[in-house]
Amino acid sequence: MFESLQDRLGSILNGLTGRGALSEADVSAALREVRRALLEADVALEVVRGFTDRVREKAVGAEVLKSIKPGQMVVKIVHDELIATLGAEGEVIDLNAPAPVVIMMVGLQGSGKTTTTAKIAKRLTERERKKVLMASLDTRRPAAQEQLRQLGSQTGVETLPIIAGQSPTDISARAVQAAKLGGYDVVILDTAGRTHIDEPLMAEMAEIKRRSNPHEILLVADSLTGQDAVNLARSFDERIGITGLVLTRMDGDGRGGAALSMRAVTGKPIKLIGVGEKMGELEEFHPRRIADRILG
C-alpha cells in the first residue's frame, strides 16, 4: 500500500554516495519523508516532531559508510531511534509485591479492557501458576459484569460473585478482601470505561486506586487510536499514574503508530499486545517488530 521509507529515502539520498558526511540539507530532505511515514502510521504530531529532532541530531554530519547507501544509513538511524523510543523487549507484569497483588485495568469503553483482563488472568494462571481472581467494577454497563464472569468460566479463572447495587469502589474493596481471605496471588480489577475521557471517569479511577492500592495500573488502548492516543495516555498517566500499557487489535491492519505515541509521552513500558479476540491471543511486545511495521 505504501512505498517503503527505505525506497523513498533511497531516491532522495542515494545520489550522494561517496560524498562523505550527510549535510543538513540532505538530512532535512530525508526527514520530510520520515515525518510523512510516521504520520501515515498514525504517530501523533507532537511525537513526530520530537522524534525527527532526535534523528536530525544523530544524522547531520554522520559519515556515510562506504559499505551502505546513504538512504539505508538514515533508515538505520530512524529504525534504531524507533526501537529506543519504543522501549525494552520482554517487559512483564510485575508481581513482585505481597499477595494478593492488585492489577487495575483502565481504559476507554471498547478498548478491549474486559477481554484483556481475562487474557491476562488466563496467562498468569497457566504460565505462572498463579491463583487469580477477577472482578468487574463496571456497574454502568449492565452486561459488563456478566461478560467477565463468562470469560472466567470459559478460561477457568474465578470471578468475584456479583452483588447488585454495589458501587465500583465497594466492589474493589470487596475483591481485595476476598482475594486476601481466599489465598489468591493476584486480583485483577476490570474498571468501567467511558466513550471518552471525562472528569467523573478519572475521579472514579482515582478513588478505586486509593481503595485498592494496585501494584500495576495497566492502560488498555486500541492500537488503531490515531492522533488521540497521546491525549488518552497522558490523561490517564497524569491523573492516575499508569505503570504500563497494553495495546489491543495489533492484529488489525494499522501501522501501530499509537504504540510509539503512547510510549513517548508517558515513558511507561508496553507490557503486552492483543492480537485477536481469542483468549490466547495476547503476546509479549517486541519493539523491533513494531518499528518495522511503523516504517512500512
Closest to ligand GDP by CB, 23 or 147: 147
Among 193, 254, 257, 287, binds ligand GDP (CB under 6 A): 193
- Output the residue with the shortest Cβ distance to ligand GDP: 274
191 binds ligand GDP (CB under 6 A): no
Among 3, 57, 238, 277, binds ligand GDP (CB under 6 A): 277
Smallest distance, ligand GDP to C-beta of residue 14, A: 39
Known binder of ligand: residue 191? yes
Mark 252-263 as b/e (b = at least 16 C-beta within 10 Å). eebbbbbbbbbb
3-state SS string over 43-108?
A: CCHHHHHHHHHHHHHHHCCCECCCCCCHHHHHHHHHHHHHHHHHCCCCCCCCCCCCCCEEEEEECC
225 binds ligand GDP (CB under 6 A): no
Among 248, 262, 263, 265, binds ligand GDP (CB under 6 A): 248
228 binds ligand GDP (CB under 6 A): no
DSSP code of 242? -
114 binds ligand GDP (CB under 6 A): yes
* Interaction mask 146-185, ligand GDP, x per CB under 6 A: ----------------------------------------
What is the C-alpha end-to-end distance of the chain, expressed in Å?
9
Give dist(CA 9, CA 26) in Å, integer.
10
For ligand GDP, the binding residues (CB under 6 A) are: 107, 109-115, 193, 248-249, 251, 274-277
